[in-house]
Amino acid sequence: MEYLLGMDGGGTGTKVTAADMDGNILGRLEAGALNGNGQSPGRLKETVAQMVKALEAQGFAPEGCAGLGAGVAGISNRAAGEAVRAGLADAGFTC
């Protein structure tokens, strides 16, 4: 099944929504904080791993992801951006 992901990461928590290609909501989840200015790259990767585990538990396999849009606090911090991207890529989410 193809789906899209939207991620809103901030200092107090992260919300992720999965939708089908027509925009119908398929699932939602929440995870820990995702803030590049207040967390180490290692902690950012841990939060991404938590999100990935929750996505997979809801049946959203990485290979079904057709696209991902993310708003993440502090993402302009180069190390933070790389940590988030690496965490997603390590789990197979290259969409």
Confidence check: pLDDT of 80 > 90? no
Helix (H) or strand (E) holding 94: none
The chain-wide mean pLDDT, for the chain, equals 90
* The token pair that represents 5 in the structure block: 């992901």
The reply to whether the predicted model has a pTM over 0.75 is: yes
Confidence check: pLDDT of 87 > 90? no
Helix (H) or strand (E) holding 93: none
Mean pLDDT (whole number) for 25-44: 88
Alpha-carbon distance 29 to 50, whole Å?
10
Q: Which residues contact 72 (CB under 8 A, 6 or more apart)?
A: 7, 9, 10, 34, 35, 36, 80, 81, 84
Place of tokens 């909501």: 25
